[in-house]
Amino acid sequence: MPFSEFGLEEGILRAIKKVGYARPTPVQVAAIPKVMQGDDITAIAQTGTGKTAAFVLPMLHRLSLQKAENKLHGTLALILAPTRELAIQITESIHSYGRHLSIRVAAIYGGVDENSQIRAARKGANIIVATPGRLIDLLGRHKLDFSRLEVLVLDEADRMLHMGFLPDIETIVAALPKRQRRQTLMFSATFPREVESLAKRFQHEPKRVQVGAKNNPADTVKQAVYEVPPHLKDAMLLALLKDEAFARVLVFVRMKDGANRLTEILRKEKISVTRLHSGRTQEKRIKALADFKSGAVRVLVATDLAARGIDIDGVSHVVNYDFPVNPEDYIHRIGRTGRAEHEGEAVSFVPKGDLNLLGILEMAIGQRLPRKKLRSFDYYAKSPAIVIPPAKKDWRKRTREREVSKPQKPATRPAKKVGKKFPKSR
């Protein structure tokens, strides 16, 4: 089925041609006609399936019709996304698909100066893409007007709930026109009970769109497990990176400190690497992603902040350096590769202590992951074959020195909390 059969506005079709999509993906085929009819939809689609275009294209179509009749005034659409990165990415997609339409878009997310965002919204943004935290802050101060809103999108709904945004989302939705008077589109990679309850409360007779098996990782991703002792994970990663097929590699770790430490180790081994976690400033997070996307660096070490929604073309490998604590995170992480029907590989390091997590995952996805052994790797080495950087304080200081261009006063860090095993790292 070609894109032209949806009846999308001509400027949108030209933009699609320009980005080079030959035909719609399955979620687009299933969702676009329903959204164009004005139905509410609950779409369960794995990451990387093209779901952003599935809601952005019909939204642009609706707005461009109003524009043609000179009726486009104020904010007609609101898209809520869990992370700043995803909000930025959706905004970029809107700019790209809407390049031939003069529709105004504003992105509202935390971590950066709010004034320019308020100005953009008040200047008449027709679409606002936002993370719930910053949006609720501006709503509370009456900086935004949603009285004309027609379309609400909740993207990565499961993720937003997981991140504790439910009260914020409820407050935001209460400030919008009633559900019978708006179109509500919900996208979620998984469909736990909490998401179902959200759909019941926020949507009006929604149609269900489901592409691919629920809770199963993308079919295009080849998966493998390496059982490796914890003290040899660095050496294992370095051994894998000797293979040039590992061209663009996203490495997931559980904690911010772990990301810093591993980045430093890889740098020492002359591997071009950057890192993404919530302890970095928004500017540095944006730069890290941009460097990885452009191919300026080969490896991105990230916490689960990068696991959802982030679209990076051509990620050859996802490495679960630290095994994810729950199956949903695994599905999202490996969804960063094998996107839009490209091949990708996901490898997971599983020390003995994490075998129970692997078991839980395999039950959840209903398949046993292939075990692999790396030839000529010494699984019985007593100590790491590589040099671990000295005391934490020293390498942190060095990392800071490299990143900070002008002299700053020494940063003070709060004392580390004791007894918290997995601090929130987003």
Of 407, 420, 402, 422, nearest to 357 by C-alpha is: 422
Note the residue count of the chain: 426
Contacts of 69 (CB under 8 A, 6+ apart): none
Query: Under rule CB under 6 A, how many of the chain's residues touch ligand AMP?
Result: 15
Is residue 328 within a helix (H) or strand (E), and if so which, with residue range? helix 327-334
Kindly indicate which of the ranges 24-32, 73-81, 256-264, 284-292 contains the residues binding ligand AMP, using the contact rule CB under 6 A: 24-32
Name which of 309 and 327 has its Cβ closer to ligand AMP.
309
Radius of gyration of the chain (CA): 22
Name which of 195 and 350 has its Cβ closer to ligand AMP.
195
Name which of 25 and 260 has its Cβ closer to ligand AMP.
25
Burial class (CB in 10 A: 0-12, 13-18, 19+), 29: middle
Question: Does 339 help bind ligand AMP (rule: CB under 6 A)?
Answer: yes
Question: Does 338 help bind ligand AMP (rule: CB under 6 A)?
Answer: no
CA distance 236 to 241: 9
Place of tokens 């008449």: 124
Question: Does 335 help bind ligand AMP (rule: CB under 6 A)?
Answer: no
Question: Does 92 help bind ligand AMP (rule: CB under 6 A)?
Answer: no
CA distance 105 to 92: 10
Among 1, 296, 340, 363, which residue interacts with ligand AMP (rule: CB under 6 A)?
340
CA distance 171 to 175: 7
Token pair for 301: 């070490």
- The mark string for 31-70 relative to ligand AMP (x by CB under 6 A, - otherwise) is ----------------xxxxxxx-----------------
Name which of 24 and 324 has its Cβ closer to ligand AMP.
24
Question: Does 311 help bind ligand AMP (rule: CB under 6 A)?
Answer: yes
Token pair for 254: 């559980």
- The mark string for 211-250 relative to ligand AMP (x by CB under 6 A, - otherwise) is ----------------------------------------
Among 10, 243, 313, 378, which residue interacts with ligand AMP (rule: CB under 6 A)?
313
What is residue 192's three-state secondary structure?
Answer: coil
Contact 252, 262 (CB under 8 A): no
Name which of 92 and 137 has its Cβ closer to ligand AMP.
92
Q: Which residues bind to ligand AMP, rule: CB under 6 A?
A: 21, 24-25, 28, 47-53, 311, 313, 339-340
